[in-house]
Each structure stands twice: as structure tokens, then as C-alpha cells.
Amino acid sequence: MSIIWGLFFTPEDFVQGNSYRIIYLHVPASFLSQTLYLAMAISSVTYLIWRVKLAAYLIIAIAPIGAMTTFIALISGSIWGIPTWGTWWQWDARITSTLILFIMYLGLISLHNSFSNHEKADKLLSWLVIVGAANIPIIKKSVDWWSTLHQSASITLTDKPSIDPVMLYPLIGSIIGFFGLMICLVLLSSKYQILHREKNKSWVRDYV
């Protein structure tokens, strides 16, 4: 609903014209790409400290969804860059660190799939996710630390939003909507992981 609100019921931007409407898909996707990685990092810590099996399943359940949101963020940003910056790609700090996040997601999925011993894979994956979490603050702060083509954040926790409320409300709505959709996807993916990993257990056969 919020995406429709943003696409059809918000006024045209004075500088960027109608291309700014990509914001209603690009911002939620990039916000979630980082949030999902943080969720993976929290699951990793939970798994390594308390050995909760479900946390390990959650890591590999989130990874493909995180890769998808990062892919959407990168592609939508590139498409937005053509009319706005005159180029689809620039090796600036924000874009490059997001590309690194995407490669990390793909690497973690490939690594997990390459192991036949699931327990070993879970342990290694958890450590790698924790190490890789260092990239999240780099992505977040890249626009402040370096001079980048990418604009700085329009919404922050500390300052007043630099975006007009008419455009801001549907943006917040689309972030919340995307968040809900991703929770549904993570639940589906987790269900698959549990069924796949526990398929030899009697409780799974009873459940099915």
C-alpha cells in the first residue's frame, strides 16, 4: 500500500523528477540487507554461546534472503544512478561496501553448501558472520567518513529527517511493509531449513 502511495500519490521531486520514486523500493531493500545481516550476527553469537540449534538454522535461512535484498538494493541504486548521476556505477564507499556485503552473503551460502558436516559448517559460518559484521557500520557511516557520490542518510535517529513529510510517510510505510514481508520469507525459509535438517527425526515425521 505504501509503495503505491509513494509511486502514485506523492508529488514529483524538484531536483530528481519522478526517478526519486525508486526510493520507496531502494531504501527498504538496503535497510533490510543490513538488518538481516545483523540478525544473522545475533543468531551466530546465540549459537556459539548457547549452542541453540535453531539459531544455526536461522543463519542459513536468512542468508539467501539477505543476498536478495542486497541485490535489489544494488540494482535499484544502479538504475536510479542513470538519470540522477549520469552513471550506473561508481566505486564509492557506500556502493562498494554494499557490494562487499552482497559478496559476503554469496560466500557464506556457498561455504555452507560445500560442507557435508553441518555442525562444522554452522560453527565456521557463525564465526565468519561475526567477523563480517564489521562491514555493517562501515556501510552505515561510509557517507560520513568518505566523500561519496551517494547522498547522506535522509532519516536518522538523532536528527530531523531531511525529506519532506509528504514523501517521508510512505517511505516509512514501505520500510515497515518490506520488514513484514521479509519476516514472512524468513519464517518460510526457516521452516524449510528445520524440515531439511531434522528430516530423520521422529518428531518431523509426526509433524508432516
Partner 1 sequence: MFNFAFNSLYEALYMNGHGLYVWSVVILVFISLLGFFIGYTVKIKKIKDKLNEPN
Please report, as ranges, the residues that interact with partner 1 according to CB under 8 A: 3, 5, 7-12, 17-19, 21-22, 25-26, 29, 64-65, 68, 71-72, 75-76, 79-80, 82-83, 166, 169, 181, 184-185, 188-189, 191-192, 195-196, 199, 204-205, 208
Find out whether 44 and 81 touch, Cβ atoms under 8 Å. no
Q: Indicate the residue among 49 and 181 with the shorter CB distance to partner 1.
A: 181
Task: Return d(Cα 132, Cα 185) in angstroms, integer.
Answer: 23
Give min distance, CB of 208 to partner 1, in A: 4
CA 4-38-190 angle, to 5 degrees, is 75
Give min distance, CB of 82 to partner 1, in A: 6
Helix, strand or coil, per DSSP, at residue 52 = coil
158 to 34, 161, 197: CA distances (angstroms)? 19, 9, 43
Q: Indicate the residue among 54 and 166 with the shorter CB distance to partner 1.
A: 166
- Cross-strand bridge partners of residue 17: 13
Cell numbers 546465540 label which residue? 46
Q: Indicate the residue among 67 and 133 with the shorter CB distance to partner 1.
A: 67
Give min distance, CB of 50 to partner 1, in A: 27
Task: Return d(Cα 25, Cα 17) in angstroms, integer.
Answer: 16
Task: Return d(Cα 208, Cα 206) in angstroms, integer.
Answer: 6
Q: Indicate the residue among 48 and 154 with the shorter CB distance to partner 1.
A: 154
Give min distance, CB of 22 to partner 1, in A: 5
Give min distance, CB of 64 to partner 1, in A: 8
Q: Indicate the residue among 40 and 65 with the shorter CB distance to partner 1.
A: 65
Give min distance, CB of 205 to partner 1, in A: 6
Q: Indicate the residue among 64 and 107 with the shorter CB distance to partner 1.
A: 64
Task: Return d(Cα 148, Cα 94) in angstroms, integer.
Answer: 7
- Cross-strand bridge partners of residue 13: 17
